[in-house]
Structure 1
Amino acid sequence: MVNYKKHSLNFKLRLVKAYLNGGSYTGLAKVGGITRSLLKKWVGHYRQQGIEGLLPPGEQSYTREYKQEVVLVYQSSGLSLGECCFKYRIPSPSTLAGWIRQYEQFGIDGFSTARGRPRSMKSKPKIIKRYGPLTRLEELENENLRLRAENDLLKKLDALIREKEVAQKKKR
């Protein structure tokens, strides 16, 4: 497993300025113990935004409209992925490539905010809990919830038994 480390602003600035003063990517990357591509990225960010470009981007969330704007600029301007990322301070070209893919497949709806696996279970109804006696209506609501849950459980059990029987019949 690779051990990632964060580099200080002074370290980045020193290497970038050394490159701009005539150093080579390969030589400076060896001296700094980093990859050439990382140094190139820092130099590009520095050229685009100065010292601010070398600051860590931090956690960032992008709106659907912002993503659409960046994708449309990329498609119309002829900028490379890297140049577009430098211009809009997107940390990785793979992020922008994903946005482009989503936009081409689904349009702006491809940038939905829902991420991850959808919930399989609905939210549970709340059983009323209260100190002291419950009203008759609250007691009936609680009993109704319990009976619904029991009914759902029995239906699920019945469906599983039927599935098992069908599977056994197919084996014969």
Structure 2
Amino acid sequence: MTKYSNEFKVKAIKMVLKGNSISHVAKILNMPDIAPLCRWISHYEHGGISQLLHKNRKYTPIFKQKVIEYKWLHHLSLNQTAAKFSIPKKELSYVEQLEQENYQLRMENDLLKKWHALMKQWEKEGRH
């Protein structure tokens, strides 16, 4: 995982705001991936420079539950949710992103299987 300074992040955002494409800015700045820049832009759009440079905090279990429920209810990506709640997100490698997506899809699949089984049971019992 590459660490980027606050100055680097601000410079990259300013380049995009001047009309450069994200991929062009990433290439100029020798970034191996555009994902971090996309996250920075999302944070910037939701709260400006202060949110972009927001430092890690500890979050209560209630806050975490609220964030997860909001994400599911509004069908948001992790980046969109993190930006909405001003949560800085560690930059994941491509493999970590795929693992995280796979985990979420398995959870959703398990939930749908349980729902389907419940619906079958209700039909069998004559409930509708």
What letter matches 2:39 in structure 1?
Answer: K
Candidates 83, 86, 93, aligned match of 1:86: 83
| Same amino acid, percent of matched pairs | 28
What letter matches 2:28 in structure 1?
Answer: V
Report what 1:52 is aligned to.
50
Question: Contact (CA 8 Å) 1:57, 1:89: kept in 2 or not?
Answer: no
Residue ranges of structure 2 left out of the alignment (5+ in a row) = 112-128
RMSD: 2.9
Q: How many residues align?
A: 97
Report what 1:62 is aligned to.
59
Q: Distance in 2 between matches of 1:6 and 1:14?
A: 11
TM-aligned CA distance change 1:80 to 1:36, over 3 Å:
same
Residue 76 of structure 2 aligns to a residue whose secondary structure is: coil
Question: Contact (CA 8 Å) 2:43, 2:83: kept in 1 or not?
Answer: yes
Matches within 5 A, 1:18-167: 18-34=15-31, 35-58=33-56, 60-90=57-87, 91-92=89-90
Q: Deviations over 1:106-163 (max 9, x none)?
A: xxxxxxxxxxxxxxxxxxxxxxxxxxxxxxxxxxxxxxxxxxxxxxxxxxxxxxxxxx
Residue 55 of structure 2 aligns to a residue whose secondary structure is: coil
Establish whether residue 11 from structure 1 lines up as the match of residue 2 from structure 2.
no
Q: Deviations over 1:15-60 (max 9, x none)?
A: 11211221011111111122211111111111111001221523x3
Question: Contact (CA 8 Å) 1:44, 1:86: kept in 2 or not?
Answer: yes
Q: Distance in 1 between matches of 2:47 and 2:23?
A: 23
Q: Normalising to structure 2: TM-score of the pair?
A: 0.62
Q: Distance in 2 between matches of 1:80 and 1:6?
A: 23
Q: Which runs of 4+ in 1 moved over 6 A?
A: 96-99
Residue ranges of structure 1 left out of the alignment (5+ in a row) = 106-172
TM-aligned CA distance change 1:78 to 1:36, over 3 Å:
same
Greater RCO structure (CA 8 Å; 6+ sep): 2
Question: Contact (CA 8 Å) 2:71, 2:78: kept in 1 or not?
Answer: yes
Q: Normalising to structure 1: TM-score of the pair?
A: 0.47
What letter matches 2:13 in structure 1?
Answer: V
Question: Contact (CA 8 Å) 1:29, 1:36: kept in 2 or not?
Answer: yes
Q: Distance in 2 between matches of 1:89 and 1:33?
A: 27
